[in-house]
A and B are shown apart, each in its own frame.
Chain A
């Protein structure tokens, strides 16, 4: 019986020839990830579990990114707990302030994930690595603890939705607009428990950065994972970052999908998700002038160098509107350095934007750009739930780096094609 890409990867890691949707299976893990807010809960559970060595020092990663650099004493204590845990057990992939980045930008950059891997992370956006042809999914802290101890996790094999991409994007339309469009189309539970499998001719025209952004937001449609076929661009990326040898799994031609969607990339327009759900999408050309107080450009969704390049091009020689606070957050130290060398950071500062050290910070209302009651932000982040970036009566509009940069200049949600 035919299998999808996800089913093949799970079968290979379960040591069986075949798996079907709905089956329960135990698989071997290639990477177990946690951050500074989910790892402390995992460590507490891990201690109850016998508190021994981790299953593989190279296959556990902890990234201090959410409330780091430490925003308060309690956050500092949580990071300290993670640091101590990793030091005592010789965990090799511990990333602290000065070396860290937003976890889902950092792991691909460090070559810690390759095609064909199975990755779990105590962070819902762990699905990002599906862009590289891996099965990768978010779990909770208890699963992380068991994963660190045993190197295994159980899964229910997901059914799949197939997205055939055709055509080519018209800049400044980006992967962010595509995934917001898809979430708008299928809804925030449209892919519940399922894998979203992306392929088709149009896929090859998308950059790896666009694919990472799209796989990142698969969770916002309720998916277990998002996954892209592996092509030359994937392989070139994996080689450049020094990832281990990829294993390429392709879906069988007669694999079963619950639904098949065709997405014409050339028809996608710049898209914005209105509060308070990512499915509340509108194309930017159909909305009224909506005044804003803040712009955030960054996060695991859109804090990569390509995202900053787009924003810098739009902001070059321009000024952030008088009443707007624009915060740019390169997602990793490497991206920060490259953006500095390429002059992007200078462009941002000259435009009147603040540039921050890497952190998840404002995306989840942690620090570095919290909204007051009634304030409104355009953000390149991934969620616009009630209170996500601060006061429960504040609002977040999700958009691409291009829309965010254009909006920063205009002071209202703006079409980047008209700036």
Chain B
């Protein structure tokens, strides 16, 4: 699993209420959810995000509500991967379950800047910053988790007999 994209960066404690405000939870339509992604934190996100972009956050990314609508909105917006110092536990689980790639790497999340171009080899856990030339190594996911993510989520994985 490889990713290449430019960075959209946020800070610590990005909560699921700002990822997708509750006032939009009266729908489960993925595109509609994505059209409001990050709205209360960054009104420019939806207009500027490009398919393949990589979101970088600080500590406790995805804290708060268990709403799976949050990783769904991020994934549907075109974000290919989220890198953070660490993730809140329900978001972590939900991201894997719906097939949104995530990686924990505190050093990379600290040093990467908005707009940097990254190349990420998730199988090896290698993050390369092509803008600055710096790279980091982090623990890759075990194969069964990677299978869930690449297969499009837990349910698809179960149905395909991969899990």
Q: Which residues from 43 to 83 on chain B have a C-beta closer than 8 Å to any C-beta of chain A?
A: 59-60, 63-69, 72
26 pairs of residues in contact across A and B, judged by CB atoms under 8 Å: A37-B69, A38-B68, A41-B69, A45-B155, A48-B159, A124-B66, A138-B90, A140-B67, A140-B90, A140-B93, A141-B68, A142-B97, A142-B154, A146-B154, A189-B88, A192-B89, A219-B64, A222-B63, A364-B65, A366-B23, A366-B25, A386-B17, A386-B40, A387-B21, A388-B17, A392-B21
Q: Which chain A residues border B159 with CB–CB below 8 Å?
A: 48-49
Taking beta carbons and an 8 Å cutoff, which residues of A are in contact with B? 37-38, 40-41, 44-45, 48-49, 66-67, 71-72, 74-75, 78, 121-124, 126, 138-143, 145-146, 188-189, 192-193, 219, 222, 224, 277, 364-366, 383, 385-388, 392
- Say whether B40 contacts A392, CB under 8 Å: yes
Contact A365 B22, beta carbon cutoff 8 Å: yes
Closest to A382 in B: B64
Q: Compute how far the CA of A113 lies from the CA of B24 in the bound complex, rounded to whole angstroms.
A: 31
Q: Closest chain A residue to B153 by CB distance?
A: A142
In-complex Cβ contact of A387 among B17, B68, B97, B98 (8 A): B17
The answer to whether A222 touches B89, judged by C-beta atoms less than 8 angstroms apart, is yes
Q: Give the CA-CA distance A145 to B97 in the complex, in Å.
A: 11
Give, as a whole number of angstroms, the nearest-CB distance from B42 to chain A.
Answer: 11
Chain A residue numbers with a CB within 8 Å of B39 are: 392
Q: Which of A142, A188, A383 has the most CB of B within 10 A?
A: A142
Hey, which chain B residues are within 8 Å of A38, CB to CB? 66-68
12 further contact pairs, Cβ within 8 A, besides A123-B66, A388-B22:
A38-B67, A124-B90, A139-B94, A140-B98, A143-B93, A189-B59, A192-B86, A222-B89, A364-B65, A365-B21, A383-B65, A392-B39
Restricting to B68-123, which residues have a CB under 8 Å from any CB of A? 68-69, 72, 86, 88-90, 93-94, 97-98
A72 nearest in chain B by CB position? B26
Q: Identify which of residues 107-155 in chain B touch chain A, using a CB-to-CB cut-off of 8 Å.
A: 153-155
- Report the separation of the CA atoms of residues A101 and B67 in the bound assembly, to the nearest whole angstrom: 20
* Bound Cα distance from A49 to B159, whole angstroms: 7
Residues of A near B86 (CB, < 8 A) are 189, 192
For B97, give its contact among A126, A143, A277 (CB under 8 Å): A143
Q: Closest 6 CB pairs between A and B?
A: A140-B94, A74-B26, A142-B97, A140-B68, A387-B40, A189-B60
Known: A38-B68, A365-B23. Contact between A385 and B93, CB under 8 A?
no
Which residues of chain B are within 8 angstroms of A386 by Cβ–Cβ distance? Answer: 15, 17-18, 40-41
State the majority secondary structure of interface residues on A.
loop
Q: Is the CB of B25 within 8 A of A189?
A: no
Chain B: minimal CB distance from A360 (Å): 9
Whether B60 and A366, one on each chain, are in contact in the complex, defined by CB atoms closer than 8 angstroms, is no
Do residues B17 and A139 form an inter-chain contact, with CB atoms below 8 A? no
Query: What chain B residues lie within 8 Å of A78 (beta carbons)?
Result: 26-28
Q: Are A142 and B18 in contact (CB under 8 A)?
A: no
Contact A364 B28 (CB under 8 A): no
A contact residues around B67 at 8 Å (CB): 37-38, 140
Q: Are B18 and A385 in contact (CB under 8 A)?
A: yes
